Amino acid sequence: MKRKVLMAFGLLAAFATILFCLALPGSQAQAKTYQIGTDVTYPPFEFANKNNKYVGIDIDIIKSIAKEEGFKVNVKPVGFNAAVQSVQSGQLDGIIAGMTITPERKDKFDFGTPYYKTGAVMAVKKGSDITSFKQLKGKKVALKTGTAAADYANSLKKKYGFKTVTFDDSDNIYQDVTTGNSVACFDDQPVLQYGIKHGLKLQIASKPANQGWYGFGVKKGTHKALIKKFNAGLKKIQANGTYDKIVGKYLGTANNSKVKGKTFTIGTDVTFPPFEFANKNNKYVGIDMDLIRAIANEQGFKVKIKALGFNAAVQAVESGQADGVIAGMSITNERKAQFDFSKPYFNSGVVMAVAQNSKIHKLSELRGKRVAVKTGTSGADYANSIKKKYGFKVVTFDDSNNMYADVSTGNSVACFEDHPVMQYAIKQGTKLKIVTKPALNAPYGFAVKKGHNQALLQAFNQGLADLKASGTYDSIKAKYLGADEIKTAAKTSGNDAEDRTFIGLIKQNKGALLSGLQETLWLTVVSIFFATIFGVLVGLMGVVPNKFSQGTSTTLIYLFRGMPLLVLALFIYTGIPSLTGQKIPAFVAGVVTLTFNEGAYIAAFVKGGIQAVDPGQMEASRSLGLPFGKAMRKVILPQGIRIMVPSFINQFIITLKDTSILSIIGLLELTQTGKIIIARNLEGFKVWTIVAAIYLIIITVLTWLSNWVQRRTKV
Amino acid sequence: MSEKVKVTNLVKTFGDNEVLKGINLTVQKNEVVVIIGPSGSGKSTLLRNLNKLEEPTSGSIVIDNVDIARNDVDINAVRENIGMVFQHFNLFKNLSVGENIMLAPVELKKQTKDKAAIQAKQLLKTVGLEEKFDATVQSLSGGQQQRVAIARALAMNPDIMLFDEPTSALDPEMVGDVLAVMKDLAKQGMTMVVVTHEMGFAKEVADRVVFVDDGQILEEGTPEQIFEHPKNERLQDFLNKILNV
Ligand SMILES: Nc1ncnc2c1ncn2[C@@H]1O[C@H](COP(=O)(O)OP(=O)(O)OP(=O)(O)O)[C@@H](O)[C@H]1O
Ligand SMILES: [Mg+2]
């Protein structure tokens, strides 16, 4: 029996190596890049912003240090636990994930100089009357697995008699409390503070306990050089102010002078990046948002932001429902009849952008060429108003990304877009450049209802002036538009809204969803290919008249069918590298996992299918003098395969669905994509509905396809 | 007459169950031997040992002077010379009637496809089914299937044919057609070992009848000796039962 198990493992290893070699062209090309693991979502330390770019204190710190010290980092948001395990298994070089330095962790990790002080606190639902641990008796408390705060809570559990539920990420523990499933949660203080500051409906109900420090960790005894570089870099960025800037950027400097303590309701657009848009916590950020908050902070009042949509926000102010509106709103004479405007805080205008390597820099060079615009924007209005004069053709897109892509791929030679929007896109990595001065200049203003809220208006003007003086105004702009050029103009009807309808969500996340789907399909196809080979081999081994081969087959099927897919995935991704010292890319680990798991099921039904063929068929073949192999090929298999076809199709569909489990090892397939989108916009129901629908559509198509194939093979 | 098959002291056990308890049986060339006996007595097992569909536990089975009970014989080559017909026909369901007959000759490189097809048609003619060459197995009646199975077994030109209750899965009206084919074969001098409950066939065609009970041969002789003057008490019981049903 032992020998069989050994043999199974040998096979496994051999298979893994083959796959590894097959699917790994040049993944280790960049040699001096460190692979750093981080959490999927742990704001303000790490989270995906609207463009699915990972930002946060941790990310910014490690990147600044890398820049300072001249190395490269590849930050992988694989989740806290996966990151910890991957560092231990050598898949990743280091981890920066709001990881508290604890004695236990020191057994396994070497930590760099502590970079952030923290403590565990309890938070309860806003308005809850729970203020002490005693009140938790018999109640449920939500924890995030593997955190120091969870350890703290577990240490109190017995004494105070509460129950705990654990989740894999912060959003889930917060939600569990806000929905009332749990009465409290424990998390690190800065994280909770940040969340609450950004609209989380919780309140902190205990003093920070188990105060500790966050540290950057590597596997004990490895990467001494990396730790050294980290410490040196941390020292430098703390000395030159970068560190404070990073922390300030996410947590805000809390120094205010004249506290009036009043709360004003401010209406804004739903989405008009870079002026206002929801980040992953569903908290509105952008130039307008940062500005109004900074001003409120500076002037000592509070604001309640209502993202109503442009028209609704304007009407809310007119009706007195909201005190003011800041929504990329151009100051026009018509509007002045109903509103009092602040001093202009931004000048926008329409610009022309071309591909980075394009030589075009004048409107007159567009003659006979194609120009891309986005429907309903002032850029489109402007382009249409001058296309006769300059003799170009206009092609319209629904979506900015497509418009940009049309230009960067060279289908169109240029596009027209609002200047700040274009700047923002370029800052986010769009490969275009702006070549004209803004046209159709129009200033943006903050507005209140005519004759009302004059104190607010004055405070805004005062605050704006102060921020301009202190440089905060410039840094807000720079944050969204890039540091280079900050001057400009335009008018846009802020109706570019990011809506939260299904169609809106699909539109916004089309790119992410499609690439997630692509990954899912690719994983499925590659896995089913290898799983079929593996399964057919193992299945056939199970029917040849040889005890050893049958035993091997049975053992393999037993092993890989008996192991939960999730465990197998983690074992292969983190376990195998620990055994062999050889890294496995997540994709390969995923394929190997599915190959073994789905392969075992395939083996079982291949075996079963063959065994289901009447034994008389084999006897009759053998009695004619046909050798076993020939009898198998000519008589048994053709009948067995017919029995197996429905199982194969079924297995294909199961494999497609099972790929979702591989999100655990950080593969950016459809489910993981969904998780990340939800972490950002908290539209759980809608996004999961969309994701579910995509799976269903693909599976329906597959089913049709396979029914068609089945009908053809029946002939 | 020469010895075609000589079984000596054949024992077959399944686990603890001794099914054949030392069988001694000789079949001469061109002889038709009919084996009768109660259910579970070991008739099928005996037959299946003759082409090693079952592995003999001990004893020897000499066919054409070769002991096939030994492990070093090429059993596939031996089987080419021994045709077998099963109770449930066992036609290949994935193949047409013609293909069923042609499979072994073509696969074992005895014949080209064309020649095998010509032979298959001839064999079908001899069993009265020449028009069924392209038919699917599923479209045939039981009796037709069994006749195709006989044709399939004959396609390898065997010099011994084994039949294991070839008619007992058939509707009564089909039995005659199959027996007729077997009678023809016997007339042509085929060496045949037939397990059957068709006593009429045994009386008419058999050169010798063998009574097997509880894994042993209790009596053998000409049909007349066995059916008219049975000596063994158990044989008398057996005949009483089946003839009086
Ligand atoms: N593969 C096997 N494994 C175990 N026992 C078997 C096997 N084949 C046959 N036997 C047993 O051997 C005994 C003889 O079976 P066999 O089929 O030879 O009887 P038979 O005389 O052909 O009966 P019938 O007239 O019902 O066909 C029976 O008790 C049966 O259960
Ligand atoms: Mg039998």
Question: Model confidence over A104-126: pLDDT tens digits?
Answer: 888 889 999 888 878 888 999 88
With CB atoms and an 8 Å threshold, state whether A622 touches B79. yes
Same domain, A417 and A457: no
Instruction: Please check whether residue A283 is in contact with residue A171, taking contact to mean a CB–CB distance below 8 angstroms.
Output: no
pLDDT value at residue A675: 73
CA trace torsion B45, B49, B54, B57 (10° rounding): 100
Q: Nearest residue of B to residue A640 by CA position?
A: B94
* Helix axis angle, B97-107 to B113-126, nearest 10°: 130
Same domain, A373 and A430: yes
| Domains of chain A: total | 5
Q: Let me know if residue A4 belongs to a domain.
A: no
Which among B79, B83, B86 has CB closest to A616? B86
Q: A346-355 and A439-444 as β-strands: parallel, antiparallel, unpaired?
A: antiparallel
Q: Let me know if residue A497 belongs to a domain.
A: no
Which among A619, A623, A635 has CB closest to B94? A635
Pocket of ligand 1, beta carbon within 6 A: B 14, 17, 19, 37, 39-45
Cα distance from B162 to chain A (closest Cα, Å)? 10
Report the CATH number at residue A135.
3.40.190.10
CA trace torsion A526, A529, A530, A536 (10° rounding): 160
Contacts of A634 in chain B (CB under 8 A): 92, 103, 107
Q: Let me know if residue A620 belongs to a domain.
A: yes
* Helix axis angle, A684-714 to A510-541, nearest 10°: 40
Extents of the domains making up chain B: 93-158
Instruction: Please check whether residue B26 is in contact with residue A598, taking contact to mean a CB–CB distance below 8 angstroms.
Output: no
Instruction: Please check whether residue A76 is in contact with residue A37, taking contact to mean a CB–CB distance below 8 angstroms.
Output: yes
What is the spatial distance between Cα A286 and Cα A296, in angstroms, rounded to a whole number?
A: 15
The answer, yes or no, to whether residue A497 has pLDDT greater than 50, is no
Contacts of A622 in chain B (CB under 8 A): 53, 79
Span from the CA of A615 to the centroid of ligand 1 (angstroms): 15
Report the CATH number at residue A620.
1.10.3720.10
**Ligand 1 atom at minimal distance to the Cα of residue B212:** 21
ipTM: 0.94
Contacts of B86 in chain A (CB under 8 A): 616, 619-620
Same domain, A664 and A559: yes
Same domain, A288 and A430: no
Same domain, A510 and A382: no
The answer, yes or no, to whether residue A638 has pLDDT greater than 90, is yes
Same domain, A80 and A159: no
With CB atoms and an 8 Å threshold, state whether A635 touches B84. no
Q: Enter the DSSP assignment of A319.
A: T
Q: Let me know if residue A494 belongs to a domain.
A: no
Same domain, A535 and A587: yes
Between these two residues, B208 and A407, which has the higher pLDDT value?
B208
> What mean pLDDT, rounded, does chain A reach?
82
Instruction: Please check whether residue A76 is in contact with residue A92, taking contact to mean a CB–CB distance below 8 angstroms.
Output: yes
Report which protein residue has its CA nearest ligand 1's atom 22.
B44
Range with top average pLDDT, A151-155, A486-490, A651-655: A651-655
Which among A614, A617, A624, A644 is the top mutation candidate for probing chain B, defined by the most B β-carbons within 10 Å of its own β-carbon? A624
Contacts of A623 in chain B (CB under 8 A): 51, 53, 79, 82-84, 153
Same domain, A188 and A140: yes
Ligand at minimal distance from the CA of B42 is 1
Question: Which H or E run contains A369?
Answer: none
Contacts of A334 (CB under 8 A, 6+ apart): none
Over range A604-611, report the average pLDDT: 95
How confident is chain B (245 residues) per 10-residue block, as mean pLDDT?
89 95 95 95 96 93 92 90 95 96 93 94 94 95 95 95 94 91 94 94 95 95 94 94 77
Q: Enter the DSSP assignment of A450.
A: T
With CB atoms and an 8 Å threshold, state whether B90 touches A617. yes
User: Containing domain of residue A141, as a range?
Assistant: 116-214
The answer, yes or no, to whether residue A226 has pLDDT greater than 60, is yes
The answer, yes or no, to whether residue A23 has pLDDT greater than 50, is no
Q: Nearest residue of B to residue A630 by CA position?
A: B107
pLDDT value at residue A20: 46
Span from the CA of B169 to the centroid of ligand 2 (angstroms): 12
What is the spatial distance between Cα B209 and Cα B34, in angstroms, rounded to a whole number?
A: 5
**Pick from A245-249, A396-400, A408-412, A467-471: least confident:** A467-471
Ligand at minimal distance from the CA of B163 is 2
Same domain, A189 and A335: no
Same domain, A124 and A177: yes
Q: Let me know if residue A613 belongs to a domain.
A: yes
State how far Cα A484 lies from the chain centre. Answer: 28
Same domain, A608 and A662: yes
Cα distance from A642 to chain B (closest Cα, Å)? 10
Same domain, A225 and A244: yes
**Pick from A444-448, A578-582, B229-233: least confident:** A578-582
Report which protein residue has its CA nearest ligand 1's atom 28.
B40
With CB atoms and an 8 Å threshold, state whether A626 touches B92. no
Instruction: Please check whether residue B83 is in contact with residue B149, taking contact to mean a CB–CB distance below 8 angstroms.
Output: no
Cα distance from B148 to chain A (closest Cα, Å)? 13
With CB atoms and an 8 Å threshold, state whether A623 touches B82. yes
